[in-house]
């Protein structure tokens, strides 16, 4: 199945590599997720369910145009809690409930510049062959994640994987209105995966009920990403 096509970000405001990712997803009742969204965004469903993702990974080679990647500042773990939404103009993309990161300067910059709900945390990501290990704990409040993920051969993405992973637009609220930015990246190399010893309360910290089932799990070595600037969102 042909993957959805990425937009082209001709003038990125940020370059990033997302590495050693795991996508953990759970089904939720649409009304439960909708209650946490800002006005103007509508939860998007697949097979009648809203989907909430918990995605830990390693952020690498983070830099602005014309600035080299710095060894300490440009490489750090991140974990986001997110869902998938439709905007007033009919576009679809990601709404982030939270984004944990281990570099305080990156947290401050993302909160002030991108108005995204970043949280400072102690975090680690370890990659060992076909195994990823994630650990995190927020400095304030203590919510966190502990998990080991194993994965096997690459898989062909189907409609559900396209719905969950192939997202090229993110939304935020700046001032009194919705804004969006594009994220350009190549097709995901996805692997079927299994999670072991999962302990996390980050979904609950976002205001959602605790997951009641085992997650759907995918892993990926990652992609290079170009992030575009914010645009004001208007109805189509």
pTM of the model as a whole: 0.95
Give CA–CA dist 95/134, Å, rounded: 23
Q: Can you give the pLDDT at residue 219? A: 98
Mean pLDDT of 10-31: 97
pLDDT tens across 24-73, in order? 999 999 999 999 999 999 999 999 999 999 999 999 999 999 988 888 78
What per-residue confidence (pLDDT) applies to 200? Answer: 98
Inter-CA distances, 221 with 56, 67, 146, 167, 218, Å: 12, 25, 19, 17, 11
Mean of pLDDT values over 160-167: 97
pLDDT at 113: 79
Domain with residues 14-232, CATH architecture = Beta Barrel (2.40)
CA separation, residue 130 to residues 58, 153, 215 (Å): 15, 9, 19
Average pLDDT, rounded, for the chain? 95
- Domain residue ranges in the chain: 14-232
Q: Using an 8 Å Cβ cutoff, are 187 and 134 in contact?
A: no
Tokens of 105: 């300067």
Mean local confidence (pLDDT), 135-156: 96
User: What is the average per-residue pLDDT within 143-172?
Assistant: 96
Q: Phi/psi at 164 (nearest 5 deg)?
A: -85, -35
């Amino acid at each position: 199945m042909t993957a959805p096509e990425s937009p082209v970000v001709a003038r990125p405001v940020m370059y990033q590599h997302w590495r050693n990712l795991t996508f953990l997803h759970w089904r939720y009742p649409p009304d439960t997720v909708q209650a946490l969204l800002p006005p103007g965004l509508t939860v998007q469903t697949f097979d009648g369910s809203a989907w909430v993702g918990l995605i830990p990974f390693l952020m690498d080679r983070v830099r602005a145009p014309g600035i080299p990647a710095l060894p300490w500042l440009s490489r750090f773990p991140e974990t986001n809690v997110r869902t998938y939404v439709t905007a007033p103009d009919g576009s679809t993309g990601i709404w982030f409930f939270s984004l944990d990161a281990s570099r305080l300067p990156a947290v401050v910059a993302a909160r002030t510049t991108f108005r995204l709900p970043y949280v400072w945390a102690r975090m680690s990501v370890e990659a060992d062959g076909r195994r990823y290990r994630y650990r995190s704990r927020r400095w304030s409040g203590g919510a966190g994640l502990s998990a080991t993920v194993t994965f096997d051969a690459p898989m062909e993405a189907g409609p559900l994987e396209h719905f969950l992973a192939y997202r090229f637009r993110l939304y935020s609220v700046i001032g009194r209105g919705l804004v969006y930015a594009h994220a350009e990246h190549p097709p995901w190399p996805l692997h079927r995966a299994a999670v072991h010893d999962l302990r996390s309360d980050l979904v609950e910290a976002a205001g959602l009920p605790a997951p009641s089932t085992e997650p759907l799990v995918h892993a990926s070595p990652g992609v290079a990403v170009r992030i575009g600037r914010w645009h004001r969102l208007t109805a189509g």
